[in-house]
Amino acid sequence: MTPMRLYAGFIYLFLYAPIALVVFFSFNSGRYAMDWQGFSTQWYAIAFSNELIVRALRTSIGIALATAFLSTVIGTLAALGLERLKGVLRQLFDALIYVAIMVPSVVIGIATLIAFVTLFDTLNPTIEWMLGRRAEMGSWTVTAAHVLFNIAVVILIVRARLTGMDQALVEAAADLYATPFGTFRQVVLPLLAPAIVAGFLLAFTFSFEDFIIAFFVAGPDTTLPIYVFSSIRRGVTPEINAVGTVVLLASLSLMLIAQALLRTRRAAAKPAVPAAGAR
């Protein structure tokens, strides 16, 4: 055991022990944190028969699915379009992608909150007159805000794959009298598929785990992170360990699948985003 190995071991312990602790205490039969009373799975039963948790989970899954679907479609289209774009417009768009990703979540939350409130204040008299109800914030505003930054993520991922794609394949298809759409469907799309699916999974996970943007624009709706946040604030509750364990497992598996897809070195595509930053 060299000192370096020892150090590495210590780092892994540091990184994983806290996560393991949450999982461990989700099987605690006692109700206090850090006070082991014996093995039990009761908190899973209690958590998943809790109406509020189940509803929050449903809301979160709904938002995440809608976000993943919309941002994958819109982002992939945009990535394909941007390949064809040059000049100032292209640079402007690239800058926007980075702004969407760099501006802190808190500020995105605030900006979208103000935008929605201003919009609703202006439009609601008309909407109320026409439809007899008012537009309000809720899951759909959260979805809109999530789609915004996940479009940027999907564009970056799909574009990385697109850049690595061998143009000769597209040209060969054209030489063989494929229509542009036929080329797209039979050559480009299959090559992009891993990146698109990875983008979908990433967008789903990012949306599912977002707390701060939803905190601003969810209105009366409660997402799972909002529920978890407020129950942690009220005091540590053992239910949260159980919910947390399930969420950890789910998001880890999604991310691992996304990683595996991004690493597939198939055909002409070079690895899009090497998982661990190598090379």
Partner 1 sequence: MSRQRSLATAAGTVAGPHEGARAGGRSPLITALLISPAALFFIFLLILPLAVVVIYSFGERAPAGGYAPAFTFANYLNLPARGKAFLNTLTLAPLATLITAIVAYPMAYFLALKAPARWRLLLLALCIVPFWTSQLLRYYAWMMILGSRGIPSWLAAIGIEDLRIINTPSAVLIGAVYGFLPLMVPPIYVSLEKLDRRLIEAAADLGATPLSSFMQITLPMSLPGVATGSMLVFILLMGDYILPQFLGGGKVFFIGNALVDLFLQSRNWPFGAAVSVALVAIMFATIVVYMRFVLGLSGQRRVALV
Residues 213-252 touching partner 1, rule: CB under 8 A, are 213, 215-216, 225, 228-229, 232, 236, 240, 244, 247-248, 251-252
Binding partner 1 (rule: CB under 8 A), the pick from 52, 106, 123, 257 is 106
For residue 100, state whether it binds partner 1 (rule: CB under 8 A).
Answer: yes
Name the segment binding partner 1 (CB under 8 A); options: 49-57, 91-99, 124-132, 185-193. 91-99
State in angstroms the smallest separation of the CB of 124 from partner 1: 15
For residue 275, state whether it binds partner 1 (rule: CB under 8 A).
Answer: yes
Helices 238-263 & 224-234 angle (0-180, nearest 10): 140
For residue 159, state whether it binds partner 1 (rule: CB under 8 A).
Answer: yes
Buried residues in 228-255 as b, exposed as e (16+ CB within 10 A)? bbebeeeeebbbbbbbbbebeeebeebe
For residue 19, state whether it binds partner 1 (rule: CB under 8 A).
Answer: yes
For residue 65, state whether it binds partner 1 (rule: CB under 8 A).
Answer: no
Paired tokens of 15: 């990184």
Question: CA nearest 211: which of 140, 261, 145?
Answer: 145
d(CA 61, CA 251): 12
d(CA 157, CA 163): 10
Binding partner 1 (rule: CB under 8 A), the pick from 68, 152, 187, 261 is 152
Strand residues in 12-171 grouped as ranges (E): none
Q: Which residue has the tokens 């969810």?
A: 218
C-beta neighbour count of 275 within 10 angstroms: 14
- How is residue 177 annotated by DSSP? T
Measured from the CB atom, is 65 or 73 closer to partner 1? 73
Binding partner 1 (rule: CB under 8 A), the pick from 139, 207, 222, 223 is 207
For residue 90, state whether it binds partner 1 (rule: CB under 8 A).
Answer: yes
Measured from the CB atom, is 47 or 156 closer to partner 1? 156
Binding partner 1 (rule: CB under 8 A), the pick from 40, 42, 105, 124 is 105
State in angstroms the smallest separation of the CB of 277 from partner 1: 4
d(CA 145, CA 101): 12
| CA contacts within 13 A on the Cβ side of 225 | 20
Name the segment binding partner 1 (CB under 8 A); options: 40-48, 53-61, 88-96, 127-135. 88-96
How many residues bind partner 1, per CB under 8 A? 107
Binding partner 1 (rule: CB under 8 A), the pick from 46, 61, 65, 74 is 74
Paired tokens of 115: 């935008």
Name the segment binding partner 1 (CB under 8 A); options: 42-50, 123-131, 155-163, 186-194. 155-163
Buried residues in 194-220 as b, exposed as e (16+ CB within 10 A)? bbbebbbbbbbbbbbebebbbbbbbbe
For residue 12, state whether it binds partner 1 (rule: CB under 8 A).
Answer: yes
For residue 194, state whether it binds partner 1 (rule: CB under 8 A).
Answer: no
- Contact positions with partner 1 (CB under 8 A) in 21-50: 21-22, 25, 32-35
In terms of Cβ atoms closer than 10 Å to its own Cβ (0-12, 13-18, 19+), residue 168 is exposed
Measured from the CB atom, is 127 or 212 closer to partner 1? 212
